[in-house]
């Protein structure tokens, strides 16, 4: 089960990134003109937030069942000195939780804005901030903090 969750979490990262990028580009396209914030735009806002929430839920399940994190919690004073343990034990989970909170707030605020331009600008701003945090917090193969492959397999 753990291997399946690792694979899902790894694969869903691409869905989160794609949906965020699409939502940001869509919002930026709606800014300069007098484009209406349609039902499709609202669904995109909602689906993007939902995908991020599902990814975070999978991440929390992994976090509380990971042998890597178990070692981090049991040997905190030793593990905190090693960058991969520090990254996954505190940085990754904290930053990703923050990013999903920002997506949630941005989605909620955008939904309640009065004008279409305000909805687009709110989505663009909040989702871009979340995307930057996510990009920093992903364990890319080239990351100096912790490395993982672009797609984990079973």
Q: Nearest 5 degrees, angle CA 55-CA 56-CA 61? A: 100
Distance separating alpha carbons of residues 34 and 85, to the nearest angstrom: 49
Q: Is 127 helix (H, G, I), strand (E, B) or coil?
A: helix
Give mean pLDDT, residues 77-103. Answer: 95
pLDDT at 144: 85
Where exactly are the structural domains of the chain? 2-137
Q: Give yes or no for residue 11 having a pLDDT over 90.
A: yes
pTM for the model stands at: 0.92
Mean of all residue pLDDT scores within the chain: 94
pLDDT at 61: 97
Residue 91: pLDDT band by 50, 70, 90 thresholds?
Answer: very high
2 or 56: which leads in pLDDT = 56
Q: Give yes or no for residue 78 having a pLDDT over 80.
A: yes
Cβ atoms of 13 and 138 closer than 8 Å: yes
31 or 98: which leads in pLDDT = 98
Burial of 43 (0-12, 13-18, 19+ CB in 10 A): exposed
Q: Give yes or no for residue 104 having a pLDDT over 80.
A: yes
pLDDT at 152: 82
Q: Give yes or no for residue 154 having a pLDDT over 80.
A: no
pLDDT at 22: 98
């Amino acid at each position: 089960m753990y291997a399946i969750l690792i694979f899902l979490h790894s694969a869903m990262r691409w869905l989160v990134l794609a949906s965020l990028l699409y939502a940001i580009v869509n919002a930026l396209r709606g800014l300069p003109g007098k484009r209406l914030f349609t039902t499709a735009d609202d669904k995109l806002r909602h689906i993007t937030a939902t995908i991020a929430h599902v990814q975070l839920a999978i991440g929390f399940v992994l976090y509380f069942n990971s042998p890597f994190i178990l070692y981090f919690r049991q040997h905190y004073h030793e593990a905190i000195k090693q960058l991969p343990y520090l990254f996954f034990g505190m940085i990754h989970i904290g930053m990703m939780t923050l990013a999903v909170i920002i997506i949630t707030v941005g989605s909620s605020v955008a939904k309640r804005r009065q004008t279409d331009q305000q909805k687009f600008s709110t989505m663009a701003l909040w989702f871009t901030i979340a995307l930057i945090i996510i990009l920093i917090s992903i364990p890319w193969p080239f990351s100096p903090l912790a490395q993982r492959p672009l797609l984990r397999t079973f």
